[in-house]
Amino acid sequence: EAGVVQSPRYKIIEKKQPVAFWCNPISGHNTLYWYRQNLGQGPELLIRYENEEAVDDSQLPKDRFSAERLKGVDSTLKIQPAELGDSAVYLCASSSSTVATQYFGPGTRLLVL
């Protein structure tokens, strides 16, 4: 069974440029999460989806970050414009429910210059 797929794996952009990350969760997993992980830190939740509904986006910086999961499967996370402090690893995870174990993708490592 395929795991959580993320692309791209690496992205280097200049500040003020837009960037988008894509996530394909494990088949059948209704719950999808986006996390940001800074170096030496644990992941921090940005947004959680139940199917296509964002049920927890309290930690998402909405002035520059946006996310969507239109058909309740794949999801994209966008930053516009990117800032130097956005350099981090962006992890996508999915689970069969909110109480079930989360399965993480490999992450997208973003470097903003």
Partner 1 sequence: KNQVEQSPQSLIILEGKNCTLQCNYTVSPFSNLRWYKQDTGRGPVSLTIMTFSENTKSNGRYTATLDADTKQSSLHITASQLSDSASYICVPQTGANNLFFGTGTRLTVIP
Return residues touching partner 1 (CB under 8 A). 4, 40-45, 91, 93, 98-99, 101-107, 109
% helix / strand / coil in the chain, to the nearest 5?
A: 5, 50, 50
Considering the complex, what minimum distance in angstroms separates the CB of residue 81 from partner 1?
Answer: 27
Question: Which residue, 29 or 81, has its beta carbon nearer to partner 1?
Answer: 29
Considering the complex, what minimum distance in angstroms separates the CB of residue 105 from partner 1?
Answer: 5
Strands 31-37 and 88-95, by their bridges, are: antiparallel
Question: Which residue, 44 or 83, has its beta carbon nearer to partner 1?
Answer: 44
